[in-house]
Amino acid sequence: MKIHGLSSASRCLAAEGGVRGLSSSSGPRVCIVGGGPAGFYTAQQLLKDAAVDIYERLPVPFGLVRFGVAPDHPEVKNVINTFTQTAQHERCSFHGNVNVGKDVTIDELRQAYHAVVLSYGAEGNRSMGIPGEDLPGVFSAKDFVGWYNGLPSNKELHPDLSFETAVILGQGNVALDVARILLAPVEMLKETDITQNALEALAGSKVRRVLIVGRRGPLQIACTIKELREMVNLPNTRADMLPADFEGIAEALKDLPRPRKRLTELMMKAVKEGGDDKAEKCWGLRFFRSPVEVLAGADEKRAAGIRLALNKLEGSGESVRAEVTGQLEDVDCGLIISSIGYKSIPIDPAVPFDPRRAIVPNEMGRVQDTAGLYCSGWVKRGPTGVIATTMNDSFDTARVLIQDMEAGKLDLSVNKPGAQAITALLQTRGVRMVLFSQWEKINAEEEKRGKSLGKAREKLLDVDEMLCRAK
Amino acid sequence: MSACALRVFLQRAAVTRKAAHQTFSQTRAFPQCVTGSYTHSRGINTLTNSLRAEEKVTVHFLNRDGKRISVKALTGESLLDIVVNNDLDIDGFGACEGTLACSTCHLIFEEAVYKKLGRISDEEMDMLDLAYGLTDTSRLGCQVCLRKDLDGMILHVPDVISDARVDSEKESSTAPPKV
């Protein structure tokens, strides 16, 4: 990122003797709730004109970059370098282990800062809403990914990988990540930052066949070509597709825009070539199928299969939708992973929330009816898009906020205490904050443990242990 | 060494360390630049460039705000290197640091120049497909290295989806797709 010369607002800041620790210093102070990509990218832009404090619930920063991006995609995590620079900026401070909504309220933050930006993402998941969904053996992709990526709240997931067939509902990149991690040779994972217990579980896994199921057809698949290519190239696996699912697709190719055309051609190639018959493992895409029930085994105690309804497509172009035909198909499987979307939840009763879209209602990042409150990232737009999408969105919100500062919509004439006041409040409530320099101690410990295991890092799985290491 | 170049060096070193941990991501094609792929020695080459025979070439970036930024750079450097080394004011450029894991270094070339460029790999095309405003003369800057015969070329920095008035539900099929 580029840190520009001082704007008039920050010249004011500098003239008043800087930001840190001086209760008499003025200058805009902004608070960001959420220390993931949205939070950091928003901070990056705001730092040109304001002092920025980031509050994050976990002791560790980086959100889905740490807990969502697959372990075998380390280059996607390079953004951590730019986030680290941002956190180390003299006008920025990171405060981990602070649960906004519980340890401190949004109103208290709004009193302490000139503006508050909500960047807390989507920690929930969409449920399938079908009978049997709560049976053992059924997981949300969010939890499964959290498990192999060391999210503390998923460390006790213990997915049973002793079944031959796994069915994943949803065909986005998260679904393909899960399929790839389930079928990848352990050699491919053992030097990554995947957690050791996930690595050991996968090493002993009996899963040999993964079906990735979507409601609509091949032309509507939501994943991108890079992830599909990784499946096609996966060692010791072959593709097991249904040619019937691809009827009429070859004819449609010529009219497709290049990205969709290349993706579809790659799928057609997988249908045609299949792969090495001697391969021990297989994966397949299944189209026109929606889950209607998770079937329990004879003992009624856990999932043993899934009932799928067969669809047909109505409409055309972008508005193609699936309609039921009445036909059903049962698939035996012992592991079911629902990958149909993350979902934001409300953080504080003082903040408006749209339960239908599961986002904070806003106009261009300005929270509806609430001056001085903004949002960026998934909580603003919904839980789709890659890191770069969130980056651009966060830059947008920051620009809107700066515009509002310059237009006098935020009262900058009032001094705001910022982190000083919040830190004092948190101390009286017994909350132990983790500063960025303390995260760096946790980071060093994780890298050290990783080194002894031949891995990029071994993540700490336990919040208490993180706090201990942060001392 | 300037602070900026130091940052680049450290970032490149970090990329290399991380790259060493990638076992099966050999599909990551680093550009075939004169000075080689991204390794520690390349970092050192950047530092000791006065001792080498690379030539200086001028390129012009036409930024999103309409401003033209002209820079002199060495043959062999990638266009991402040039943006980073010269600290050019292009928001969000090169998020993945040249590892073919994003499309933020998307640049649009003049047609005559585009035709002269090296072959595009499947891996580059896969990421380029996700770029907003993709054109027939688009490439990823991290995969294109400067040559003498590219002297004076004009590089158009495309807009990103940054107009917040665009309703996300109406995004086109060429826009960055789902997670």
- Which pLDDT value is given to residue B148? 95
How do residues A360-418 score in pLDDT, each as one tens digit?
999 999 999 999 999 999 999 999 999 999 999 999 999 999 999 999 999 999 999 99
Q: Is the pLDDT of residue B33 over 90?
A: no
DSSP-assigned letters across all residues of A292-318:
EEEEE-TTSSSEEEEEEEEEEEES-GG
Distance CA A441, CA A445 (A): 6
Q: Give domain status of residue A317, yes or no.
A: no
For residues A359 and A351, is the Cβ–Cβ distance under 8 A? Answer: no
CA A175 → CA A146, A154, A228, A231, B98, distances in Å? 13, 18, 11, 11, 26
Say whether both A228 and A335 belong to one domain: yes
User: Among A160-169, A189-198, B16-25, which stretch is predicted with the lowest mean pLDDT?
Assistant: B16-25
Query: Does the annotation list A56 as a binding residue?
Result: yes
Q: What are phi and psi of A79, to 5 degrees?
A: -60, -20
Q: Give domain status of residue A147, yes or no.
A: yes
Average pLDDT over residues A196-224: 97
User: Among A104-118, A273-287, B8-22, B86-100, which stretch is predicted with the lowest mean pLDDT?
Assistant: B8-22
How many separate helices (H) and strands (E) can be counted in chain A? 17, 19
Query: What is the domain-level CATH number for residue A70?
Result: 3.40.50.720
> Beta-carbon neighbour count of residue A156 at 10 Å?
8
Say whether both A146 and A199 belong to one domain: yes
Say whether both A248 and A350 belong to one domain: no
User: Among A309-323, A338-352, A427-441, A454-468, which stretch is predicted with the lowest mean pLDDT?
Assistant: A309-323
**Minimal-distance CA residue of chain A relative to B160:** A392
Average pLDDT over residues A153-165: 98
Q: Is the pLDDT of residue B35 over 80?
A: no
Q: Give domain status of residue B103, yes or no.
A: yes
Confidence of residue B36 (pLDDT cuts 50, 70, 90): very low
Put simply, the chain A residues between 179 and 218 with a CB less than 8 A from any chain B CB are 184, 187-188, 190-192
How high is the ipTM of this complex?
0.89
How do residues A26-75 score in pLDDT, each as one tens digit?
699 999 999 999 999 999 999 999 999 999 999 999 999 999 999 999 99
Q: Give domain status of residue B85, yes or no.
A: yes
- Chain B residues near residue A267 by CB distance under 8 angstroms: none
Say whether both A64 and A155 belong to one domain: no
What is the value of pTM for the model shown?
A: 0.88
Q: Give domain status of residue A9, yes or no.
A: no
- Which pLDDT value is given to residue A317? 75
- Chain A residues near residue B141 by CB distance under 8 angstroms: none
Average pLDDT over residues A326-355: 97
| Total count of domains within chain B | 1
Say whether both A335 and A254 belong to one domain: yes
Query: Does the annotation list A216 as a binding residue?
Result: yes
Inspect the interface and report whether the beta carbons of A1 and B25 lie closer than 8 Å.
no
- Which pLDDT value is given to residue B106? 97
Structural domain span for residue B146: 68-156
Residue bearing the bigger pLDDT, A275 or A104: A104
Domain's final residue, options A282, A316, A340 = A340
For residues A342 and A126, is the Cβ–Cβ distance under 8 A? Answer: yes
How do residues A300-320 score in pLDDT, each as one tens digit?
899 999 999 999 999 887 789
Say whether both A335 and A389 belong to one domain: no
Inspect the interface and report whether the beta carbons of B25 and A226 lie closer than 8 Å.
no
For residues A305 and A333, is the Cβ–Cβ distance under 8 A? Answer: yes
Q: Give domain status of residue B74, yes or no.
A: yes
Q: Give domain status of residue A62, yes or no.
A: yes
| Total count of domains within chain A | 2
- Chain A residues near residue B92 by CB distance under 8 angstroms: 1, 41, 388, 391-392, 395
Cα torsion at A392, A394, A399, A404 (round to 10°)?
150
Q: What percent of chain A has a predicted confidence (pLDDT) above 90?
A: 92
- Which pLDDT value is given to residue B20? 36
Confidence of residue A197 (pLDDT cuts 50, 70, 90): very high
- Chain B residues near residue A383 by CB distance under 8 angstroms: 179
Query: What is the domain-level CATH number for residue B139?
Result: 3.10.20.30
How many separate helices (H) and strands (E) can be counted in chain B? 5, 5
Query: Does the annotation list A64 as a binding residue?
Result: yes
DSSP-assigned letters across all residues of B86-126:
TT---TTTTTT-SSSS--TTEEEE-HHHHHHSPPPPHHHHH
Distance CA A184, CA A165 (A): 15
3-state helix, strand, coil in chain B (%, to 5): 35, 15, 55
Structure-token match 């609430």, residue found? A370
Say whether both A79 and A140 belong to one domain: no
- Which pLDDT value is given to residue B53? 57
**Residue A116, H or E segment:** strand A115-118
Query: What is the domain-level CATH number for residue A174?
Result: 3.50.50.60
Distance CA A393, CA A403 (A): 15
Distance from CA of B151 to the nearest CA of A (A): 26
Distance from CA of A429 to the nearest CA of B (A): 38
How do residues A227-260 score in pLDDT, each as one tens digit?
999 999 999 999 999 999 999 999 999 999 999 9
Q: Give domain status of residue B134, yes or no.
A: yes
Q: Give domain status of residue A117, yes or no.
A: yes
Q: Is the pLDDT of residue B44 over 60?
A: no
Structural domain span for residue A384: 29-123+343-470
Average pLDDT over residues A281-297: 97
Q: Give domain status of residue B166, yes or no.
A: no
- Which pLDDT value is given to residue A315? 87
Say whether both A194 and A276 belong to one domain: yes
Say whether both A425 and A437 belong to one domain: yes
Return all residues near A421 (Cβ < 8 A) that are at least 6 apart: A111, A112
